[in-house]
Amino acid sequence: MAVGSSNSFDLVVLGAGTGGYSAAFRAGQWGLKVALVDEGPRIGGTCLLRGCIPTKAMLESADLVDKVRHAGDFGIKVGETGVDYGVIAARRDQIVDRLTKGLGSLIKKNKVEHIRGRGVLQSGKKIKVAKLDEEGQPAGDIVLEGTDVVLATGSRVKSLPGLEPDGTRIVTSDDVLKTSTLPASMIVVGAGAVGVEFASFYHDMGVGVTLLEYAPAIVPLEDADVSKDLERSFKKRGMTVITGARFDPASVSVDENGVRLMAGKEGEEPAELRAEQMLVATGRAPNTDDVGLENTRAKVEKGIVQVNAHMRTAEPHLYAIGDIIGGLWLAHVAAHEGIAAVHSIVGAEHEPVDYLKMPRATYARPQIASIGRTQAECEREGIPVKVGKLPFQAVGKALIGGDHEGFTKVIAHKETDELLGVHMIGPHVTDLIAEASAAMLLEATAWELGATVHPHPTLSEALGEAALAVDGRSINF
Q: What is the mean pLDDT of residues 168-172?
A: 96
Q: What is the 3-state secondary structure (H, E, C) of the chain?
A: CCCCCCCEEEEEEECCCHHHHHHHHHHHHCCCCEEEEECCCCCCHHHHHHCHHHHHHHHHHHHHHHHHHCHHHHCCCCCCCCCCHHHHHHHHHHHHHHHHHHHHHHHHHCCEEEEEEEEEECCCCEEEEEEECCCCCEEEEEEEEEEEEEECCCEEECCCCCCCCCCCCEECHHHHCCCCCCCCEEEEECCCHHHHHHHHHHHHCCCEEEEEECCCCCCCCCCHHHHHHHHHHHHHHCCEEEECEECCHHHCEEECCEEEEEEEECCCCCEEEEECEEEECCCEEECCCCCCHHHCCCCEECCEECCCCCCECCCCCEEECHHHHCCCCCHHHHHHHHHHHHHHHHCCCCCCCCHHHCCEEECCCCEEEEEECCHHHHHHCCCCEEEEEEEHHHCHHHHHHCCCCCEEEEEEECCCCEEEEEEEEECCHHHHHHHHHHHHHCCCEHHHHHHCCCCCCCCCHHHHHHHHHCCCCCCCC
- The pLDDT of residue 319 is 98
Q: If you average pLDDT over residues 95-106, what whole number do you get?
A: 97
Q: Which of 311, 443, 420, 428 is nearest to 367 (CA)?
A: 428
pLDDT in tens, 113-159: 999 999 999 999 999 999 999 899 999 999 999 999 999 999 999 99
Q: Supply the pTM of this predicted model.
A: 0.95
Tens-digit pLDDT profile for residues 24-48:
999 999 999 999 999 999 999 999 9
User: How do 360-362 and 253-255 pair as beta strands?
Assistant: unpaired
Residue 79 has pLDDT above 90, yes or no: no
Q: In Å, how far are 143, 307, 313 from 317, measured between CA atoms?
A: 17, 12, 8
CA–CA separation, 41 vs 104, rounded Å? 11
Task: Name the pLDDT band for 5 (thresholds 50, 70, 90).
Answer: low
456 is catalytic: yes
> How do residues 209-268 score in pLDDT, each as one tens digit?
999 999 999 999 999 999 999 999 999 999 999 999 999 998 899 999 999 999 999 999
> Which amino acid is located at 159 in the chain?
S
Instruction: Specify the domain boundaries for CATH 3.30.390.30 within the chain.
Output: 366-469
- pLDDT greater than 50 at residue 200: yes
pLDDT at 470: 98
Q: Residues 328-355: what's their mean pLDDT?
A: 94
Among 3.50.50.60, 3.30.1450.10, 3.40.50.1820, 2.40.110.10, name the CATH number for the domain at 170-282: 3.50.50.60
Neighbours of 299 (CB within 10 A): 13
Q: Give Cβ neighbours of residue 337 (< 8 Å, ≥ 6 apart).
A: 19, 311, 321, 322, 325, 327, 353
Mean pLDDT computed over 381-405: 97
pLDDT of residue 4: 52
pLDDT of residue 2 exceeding 60: no
Identify the pLDDT of residue 351.
80
CATH 3.50.50.60 residue spans of the chain = 8-50+90-155+285-355, 170-282
257, burial (CB in 10 Å: exposed 0-12, middle 13-18, buried 19+)? exposed
Q: What is the rounded average pLDDT of the residues 78-105?
A: 95
Task: Provide the CATH number for the domain formed by 366-469 in this structure.
Answer: 3.30.390.30
What percent of the chain clears pLDDT 70, i.e. is strictly above it? 99
Whole-angstrom distance, CA of residue 58 vs CA of residue 65: 11
- What CATH number is given for 8-50+90-155+285-355 in this structure? 3.50.50.60
Question: How high is the pLDDT of residue 115?
Answer: 97
Which of the residues 310, 317, 423, 456 is marked catalytic?
A: 456
Residue 81: how many other CB atoms lie within 10 Å: 14
The rounded mean pLDDT for the chain is 96
Per-residue pLDDT tens digits for 352-361: 899 999 999 9
**Cα 272 to Cα 66: distance, rounded to the nearest angstrom:** 30
Q: pLDDT at position 349, please?
A: 85
pLDDT value at 3 more than 90: no
* More confident of the two residues 58 and 134: 58
